[in-house]
């Protein structure tokens, strides 16, 4: 697979990464551990070199899974993980709320290094901006960890442009991770121009609209009780029914290219900027293989215009987060 560079300090990643959260957390029951390991190792064999996890996924269990799965591939892959939620380090209990105090960041780094079985964390994101801690202090803690050789690159997740600028002035930000897809295009307004100006890479999560752009979800789909999408306004049955208009558009355009809607959606993202690395997640090998096809699908300028023109005709329904989570983003 082709490689891309995130940030100006040379963090190299495969054009598509793998979001590992759903193997353990957030989108239904965790997969069997050996199945999760097999999927991650299959991703490596198929050319993926960039893997995303976080201490809060579980908590802890996803980092442990990723660490075990990638242990044979040290030096061949890059692992991104995250700090910033308040979690009891002994019990793994999610205490609710945020905690990005410098001493907490450094404690999380030590624990994540052990779970990931690495000597240095390739990319260490602040998971959500903590309004109680100046971002300059957060970036300063990351800088200390980089100087100590425990972290290689610093990142932010769901941060607003002023926060990005302030952090970047203290410690260069290699990448911003935020939601971006044909299902959610808000980053195009301010975020992407800011990243381009500062030389920061972009890692879109939910590049397939939390699965919606695959064409496998409609208004009759039911989700497991533990699935995060149950509380997402954009995934109410009414919103899904309305938003299927976008999927139908993608199906038609994809068919003309001999591709699936998911492949078209990923190829569209990759075509936006050469420093964008989407991280679709899956629990199924055949979906992994399908997604990889998006990295080789060539879209012409006319194809991109047609996709934009068709998508602009669809008024999407529903917010991407419930109110209590929406207030955590863009700060």
Residue 90 binned pLDDT confidence (cut-offs 50, 70, 90)? confident
Confidence (pLDDT) at 89 = 83
Confidence (pLDDT) at 229 = 97
Confidence (pLDDT) at 137 = 98
CA pair distance 49, 75, nearest whole angstrom:
10
Is the model's pLDDT at 228 over the cut of 90?
A: yes
Name the pTM for this structure: 0.98
Confidence (pLDDT) at 115 = 98
Is the model's pLDDT at 122 over the cut of 90?
A: yes
pLDDT digits (tens, 9 = 90+) for 251-310: 999 999 999 999 999 999 999 999 999 999 999 999 999 999 999 999 999 999 999 999
Is the model's pLDDT at 91 over the cut of 90?
A: no
C-alpha distances in angstroms, 167 versus 100, 156, 175, 197? 13, 9, 12, 14
Confidence (pLDDT) at 98 = 97
Task: State the average pLDDT for the chain.
Answer: 97
In this prediction, residues 223-228 reach a mean pLDDT of 95
Q: Is 321 a catalytic residue?
A: no
Confidence (pLDDT) at 76 = 97
In this prediction, residues 30-43 reach a mean pLDDT of 98
- SS3 of 193-226: HHHHHHCCEEEEECCCCCCHHHCCCCCCCCCCCC
Is the model's pLDDT at 96 over the cut of 90?
A: no
- SS3 of the chain: CCEEEECCCCEEEECCCEECHHHCCCECCCCCHHHHHHHHHHHHHCCCCEEECCCCCCCCHHHHHHHHHHHHHCCCCEEEEEECEEECCCCCCEEEEECCCHHHHHHHHHHHHHHHCCCCEEEEEECCCCCCCCHHHHHHHHHHHHHCCCEEEEEEECCCHHHHHHHHHHCCEEEEEEECECCECHHHCCHHHHHHHHCCEEEEECCCCCCHHHCCCCCCCCCCCCEHHHHCHHHCHHHHHHHHHHHHHHHHHHHHCCCCHHHHHHHHHHHHCCCECCCCECCCHHHHHHHHHCCCCCCCHHHHHHHHHHHCCCCCCCCCCCHHHHCCCCC
Domains and their CATH numbers in the chain? 3-326 (3.20.20.100)
Instruction: Please give the backbone phi and psi of residue 121, each rounded to the nearest 5 degrees, phi first.
Output: -85, 125
Confidence (pLDDT) at 262 = 98
| CB-based contacts of 43-47 (< 8 A; 24+ apart in sequence) | 43/18, 43/288, 44/70, 44/73, 44/76, 44/77, 46/1, 46/288, 46/289, 46/292, 47/1, 47/14, 47/292
Catalytic residue chosen out of the listed positions 57, 125, 180, 321: 57
Is the model's pLDDT at 225 over the cut of 90?
A: yes
Residue 330 binned pLDDT confidence (cut-offs 50, 70, 90)? very high
In this prediction, residues 198-205 reach a mean pLDDT of 98
């Amino acid at each position: 697979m082709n490689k891309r560079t995130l940030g100006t300090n040379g963090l190299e990643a495969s054009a598509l990464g793998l979001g590992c959260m759903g193997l353990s957390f957030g989108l239904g029951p965790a997969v069997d551990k050996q199945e999760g390991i097999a999927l991650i190792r299959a991703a490596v064999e198929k050319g993926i070199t960039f893997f995303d996890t976080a201490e809060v996924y579980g908590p802890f269990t996803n980092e442990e899974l990723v660490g075990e799965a990638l242990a044979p591939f040290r030096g061949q892959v890059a692992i991104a993980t995250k700090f910033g939620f308040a979690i009891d380090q002994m019990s793994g209990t999610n205490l609710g709320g945020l905690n990005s105090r410098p001493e907490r960041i450094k404690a999380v780094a030590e624990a994540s290094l052990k779970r990931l079985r690495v000597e240095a964390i390739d990319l260490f994101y602040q998971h959500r901006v903590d309004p109680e801690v100046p971002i300059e202090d957060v970036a300063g803690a990351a800088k200390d960890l980089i100087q100590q050789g425990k972290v290689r690159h610093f990142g932010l997740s769901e941060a607003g442009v002023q926060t990005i600028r302030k952090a970047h002035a203290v410690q260069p930000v290699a990448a911003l991770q935020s939601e971006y897809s044909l299902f959610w295009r808000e980053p195009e307004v301010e975020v992407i121009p800011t990243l381009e100006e500062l030389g920061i890479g972009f890692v879109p999560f939910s590049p397939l609209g939390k699965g919606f752009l695959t064409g496998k979800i409609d208004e009759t789909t039911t989700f497991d009780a533990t699935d995060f999408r149950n509380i997402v306004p954009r995934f109410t049955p009414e919103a899904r029914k309305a938003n299927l208009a976008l999927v139908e558009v993608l199906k038609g355009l994809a068919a003309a290219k001999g591709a699936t809607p998911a492949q078209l959606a990923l190829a569209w993202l990759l075509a936006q900027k050469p420093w964008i690395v989407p991280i679709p997640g899956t629990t199924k090998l055949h979906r992994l293989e399908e997604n990889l096809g998006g990295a080789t699908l060539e879209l012409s300028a006319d194809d991109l215009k047609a996709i934009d023109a068709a998508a602009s005709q669809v008024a999407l329904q529903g917010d991407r987060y419930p109110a209590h989570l929406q207030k955590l983003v863009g700060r």
